[in-house]
Structure 1
Amino acid sequence: MDLLTFMQQMVNGFSLGSMYALIAIGYTMVYGVLRLINFAHGDIMMVGAFLAYAFISIFNLPFAFAVLLSVVISALVGILTDKIAYKPLREAPRISLLITAIGISFFLENAFTVFAGGIPRPFPVPEYMQNIFNVSGIIFSTSSIMVPIVTLVLLLAILFVLYKTKYGMAIRALSFDIKTVNLMGIDANKIISIVFALGSALAAVGGIFWVINYPSVEPMMGVLVGLKAFAAAVVGGIGSVTGAVLGGFIIGFTEVVVVAFFPDLAGYKDAFAFVFLIFVLLFKPTGIMGKDLEKSRF
């Protein structure tokens, strides 16, 4: 592989990895607080993409306003999911929460299949997002550059919330002991709702960028993407926000590099992400940036 090809794959890997990272942050934040793998998280990404599609194609809203509205509604969907499905099970065994998360995932997929149909629909990508640039032989689009930038900006925003605000302090305290936080006069359920809102909003942003780069929306689109984002969170160190972003970049690069070096194995590129996950778990079970979650979180 020559230098030009390598640089091209770097651009592609950053773009793909950024989308995984946005979704992985939500996984890791919910796990850090509730010790819950929210398997419905990938479907929240699908909800955000479908809402953007509906607002643009059906209601003819401007792209920026449609995206903002989709992100806000997705955050509300995350809050409702917690209030309706997870809040009644706060004291239940972890397996009950896990089964509930899988049930919510199936519910969202089938609900959108019934009401929107299972046929993939083309996403109306704005023309300025499709602009192609050629810099010294490296080809990239506006969207492929925007995704890593937006990801890093949102990462900094999340870290600011976690470490520089009272709500962030409450989130970190909650991740250690919910009962003690309640005794200190903090509304734990309100803080958990904030965590779900933040995670769901990021998933929606990731979903919208996904359909901009791969312009097709359908109810099952969040399944595989969600699983790979979960793999990214585990690879980076589940419970670590920066680890989730790092894991997203790693999984994205793994997919891109496999296709670049081994074109004959392009059909198996999805499997390589999980093979990489297995190797990381074998040698560092807590993930690359994982910490002892009894001592530190986020």
Structure 2
Amino acid sequence: MEIVQQIINGISLGSIYALIALGYTMVYGIIKLINFAHGDVFMVGAFVGFYSITVMGLSFFPALLLAMTICAVFGVLIERIAYKPLRNATRIAALITAIGVSLFIEYGTIYVRGAQPEAYPADVLPSKSFEILGVTINSQSILILGVSVALMIILQFIVHKTKTGKAMRAVSYDAEAARLMGINVDNTISATFAIGSALAGAAGVIFGIYYVKIEPLMGIIPGLKAFVAAVLGGIGIIPGAMVGGLVLGVVESLVSAVGYSLWRDGVAFVVLILILIFKPSGLFGKNIREKV
């Protein structure tokens, strides 16, 4: 029963990784860029949610929607200011810029509000525990999983059923051909950043509710783990990011349960190394030969 308990905890944690990983995988799928500033958008979302609840007095769902909206705008600004001028630059230039943007957001936040951590109020989501077949399930875990799954379903609907989603898939497949067909590629890329950043903002608020403590450098490790989750599932593949996040969360929880809690952060990178050695395309990816 202890293992079942840890798997449930892992699914809650994994759903947070999955929400962040979706942003990585969407952006990579369209412009082949690893947006290392994405973990910091997650951090901004956590702080927007915190101030929405403590200063503005909002409840969980309005705070979640506000954080998603502000992070969506923030994501578009990052794309337009930092990445758009480098659209035709080398991959390494865009990658270095992404790392620079990440550091700018982290230390800009510290400059504006200081480095001290904050704690989400305990009464935002009243926590109740249910015992089912000897397994204790927290109401917060159920809500976190429910919100995460709902957001993932909405994302799938947007990608497969809306005009913006069709444009995103077309640009991902061939940006030049999409442009010739009358699709506004720049707006489509901005929409991708907006959606991915909104999901990261939601993950930030959910993380704050679940783990209570937030601070300006909190996006580094979850951001890297979400990147591992995206690679694990097959970067550029949306269902892969979801499954990768959940698998990584469960693996971490099981490692902690066995008594190696000090190794839980390292496990993500062991998983990354193994995936790169044995299945570089990820669980859902296909090996595609690239013309040189």
Would the TM-score normalized by the shorter structure come out above 0.5? yes
CA-CA distance at 1:22 after TM superposition: 0.5
Tell whether 2:199 aligns with 1:191: no
SS of structure 1 residue aligned to 2:283: coil
Q: How much does 1:90 deviate?
A: 0.7
2:158 maps to which residue?
Answer: 161
Tell me whether 1:201 sits opposite 2:195 in the alignment.
no
Q: Name 1:112's counterpart in structure 2.
A: 109
Of 272, 285, 288, which residue of structure 2 is paired with 1:290? 285
Q: How is 1:1-16 mapped onto 2 (pairs within 5 angstroms)? A: 4-16=1-13
* Alignment check: 8 A CA contact 2:21 2:242 kept: yes
Write out per-residue CA displacement over residues 57-112 of structure 1, whole angstroms, 9 at most, x where no aligned residue: 12223332222111101100001111111111111111111111111100110011
Cα distance in 2 for partners of 1:127, 1:63 equals 6
2:268 to 273, 281, 284: 273
1:36-185 alignment runs, 5 A limit: 36-185=33-182
Separation (CA, whole Å) in 2 of partners of 1:83 and 1:256 = 38
Deviation at 1:127, TM superposition (A): 4.8
TM-score, normalised to structure 2's length? 0.95
Which residue of structure 2 lines up, in the alignment, with residue 216 of structure 1?
213
Which TM-score applies when normalising by structure 1?
Answer: 0.93
Tell me which amino acid in the other structure corresponds to 2:73: L
* CA shift for structure 1 position 148: 2.1
SS of the residue aligned with 2:219? Answer: helix
Structure 2 counterparts to residues 234-273 of structure 1, below 5 A: 234-261=231-258, 263=259, 265-273=260-268
Within 1, Cα distance between the matches of 2:286 and 2:158? 20
Give the letter for the 1:36 counterpart: L
Q: What residue in structure 2 maps to residue 29 of structure 1?
A: 26
For each residue in 1:262-285, what CA deviation from the matched residue of structure 2 results, as whole angstroms up to 9, or x when unmatched?
Answer: x1x211110011101211211111
Which ranges of structure 1 fall in alignment gaps of 5 or more residues?
none
Matching residue's letter, 1:166: K
**Relative to 1, partners in 2 of residues 1:24 and 1:204: Cα closer, same or farther, differing over 3 Å?**
same
Work out the CA distance in 2 between the residues paired with 1:101 and 1:122: 29
Q: Secondary structure at the match of 1:199?
A: helix
Name structure 2 gaps, 5 residues minimum: none
Q: Is the 8 A contact 2:4 2:135 kept in 1?
A: yes
Larger mean Cα displacement after TM superposition, 165-174 or 135-144: 135-144
In structure 1, C-alpha distance between the alignment counterparts of 2:145 and 2:202, rounded to whole Å: 12
Report the Cα distance in structure 1 between the residues aligned to 2:289 and 2:159, rounded to whole angstroms: 18
Partner of 1:39, secondary structure, is coil
Q: Which moved more, 1:43-52 or 1:135-144?
A: 135-144
Contact 2:234 2:281 in 1 (8 A): yes
Distance, in Å, in 1 between the alignment partners of 2:195 and 2:124 is 29
Deviations 1:246-277 (A, max 9, x none): 1001110111111112x1x2111100111012
In 1: Cα distance, 2:177 partner to 2:238 partner = 24
1:129 is displaced (CA, Å) by: 4.0
State the alpha-carbon separation in 1 of the partners of residues 153 and 242 from structure 2: 11
Aligned length: 290
* Mapped partners of 1:150, 1:138: distance in 2: 22
1:233 is aligned to 230
